[in-house]
Structure 1
């Protein structure tokens, strides 16, 4: 039977760094640190066969997160599936910026639009247990994944509603609205490559310029924000200027774009006109 260190060495060929380790950890039910401490252990035939099957699917392009059913985000390991966008590290910037605008000393109402796995809503609800978080999604299958994550993680101050963007929130107002909507232009060649081929198209592309969803959210959000409330949206690296223009046209103040760790435009935010916020977080 092959040793773990040997099978890993052979498996890394043609894969992204860490993919082989993640898949073998999934097969064995062990953390990555265990692999390096047990490199001379042998992998039995059943384990080797399961690992080989996962490697073949990964080399065909299937994302690791879909193969393992999990993806780390914020403080969690989230269940993911083909009905949901795979959470990305850059979305944690949106969570950080939202938390800066969510005082912990008073009740808050927060909306997460297009929640997918529940990543944003769950992170905000976990960090602000006194807040009421409502997460929406047009996909029933995605909401089932998100609700399962909330139950497994024990986050009880988030509820889920079915519908497109703000439609399920008629007549309600919030202190903060956050969203990571689809923002890739339809027909973008990137949609036919890499992991994007396997993710739900409706969670990725939005109109000829990629801005249809953000356009709709920016137009509708003012009616759902309290005076001084914030809207934050994630977008593509080259969409900062048009997204700022959309928020300004919708009447938002203090509009700004924050950059990610690679210094690319990533999140644009704006404050609904009204009394000054309880504190002045950075833009």
Structure 2
């Protein structure tokens, strides 16, 4: 089977899905260990028997709804290539808004050695993106799952990032006695009754990384209540949250005593990130 024939077959198999053409190209390029440009440059190249079997299996998995990032075992985020696992959330483009806002704040408050904590680090995406852009910063990412800590550590090594480390912790439990200039988090924020949990890729992602009680605000409230104990003077607290939670998250920060609180929209013009400074 030629590359162009394989892609045509796969797109037909995935017809009716979210992005048949994109998924087919990503999966085939991954199996061939080539760029997607290669697929168009050499459409007449023939897949060997093993590659054809791998591709057919990958398309079957995708047809059942399994996320592409779990099938390939990796996902690009920011400027990084990250290994993924069913134990963690798949990094998403909207989370880059959170990284951008933290970097904007860091650049406005010039420090030679910022201390940063990423709560619920998962793949390490946020922590590693910040560490890569702020080489003089000291970044720690925490996650209550040991598998996530191992994965994030692996991603740090794979991307050559040496100023970030990862430890197992249930939010702040392993951080007592430490303070930070920035605390950042993309915590679980979906209402546990939300129909969204039965749609798309989230059906395959760990439920503990998605839901947070009624209205999805329990973990955000817990972090907000405890963050002042772990923030340096004028330190920043920044969250990613649901598209309809901006006002609620802003109110939680203001009620706790944070100042300069603002909510920033994502690429789809939805409320996505709220941040505030500890006074």
TM range (shorter): over 0.9
Q: CA deviation at 1:105?
A: 4.5
Q: CA deviation at 1:221?
A: 0.5
Task: Say if 2:264 is the partner of 1:258.
Answer: yes
Which residue in the other structure is 1:21 paired with? 25
Aligned counterpart for 1:158 among listed residues 164, 187, 199? 164
Cα distance in 1, alignment partners of residues 152 and 249 from structure 2: 27
Q: CA deviation at 1:249?
A: 1.1
Gaps of 5+ in 1: 274-283
**RMSD (Å) for aligned C-alpha atoms:** 1.0
Cα distance in 2, alignment partners of residues 105 and 267 from structure 1: 23
Structure 1 consecutive aligned stretches of length 4 or more whose deviation exceeds 6 Å:
none
Cα distance in 1, alignment partners of residues 251 and 226 from structure 2: 15
Task: Say if 2:18 is the partner of 1:12.
Answer: no
Aligned counterpart for 2:184 among listed residues 154, 178, 181? 178
Aligned counterpart for 1:147 among listed residues 131, 146, 153? 153
Q: CA deviation at 1:161?
A: 1.4
1:120-143 alpha-carbon deviations (Å, 9 max, x no partner): 000111111111111100010111
Which residue in the other structure is 1:277 paired with? none
Aligned counterpart for 2:73 among listed residues 40, 57, 69? 69
- 1:205 alignment partner, SS class: coil
Which residue in the other structure is 1:120 paired with? 126
Cα distance in 1, alignment partners of residues 160 and 57 from structure 2: 33
Cα distance in 2, alignment partners of residues 171 and 151 from structure 1: 27
Matches within 5 A, 1:32-181: 32-103=36-107, 105-181=111-187
Cα distance in 2, alignment partners of residues 188 and 102 from structure 1: 35
1:54-75 alpha-carbon deviations (Å, 9 max, x no partner): 1000000110000000000000
Number of paired residues? 272
Cα distance in 2, alignment partners of residues 151 and 177 from structure 1: 23
Q: CA deviation at 1:144?
A: 0.6
1:62-99 alpha-carbon deviations (Å, 9 max, x no partner): 10000000000000110000111000000001001101
- Normalized against structure 1, the TM-score is what? 0.94
Q: CA deviation at 1:269?
A: 0.4
Cα distance in 2, alignment partners of residues 129 and 43 from structure 1: 42
Cα distance in 1, alignment partners of residues 99 and 203 from structure 2: 26
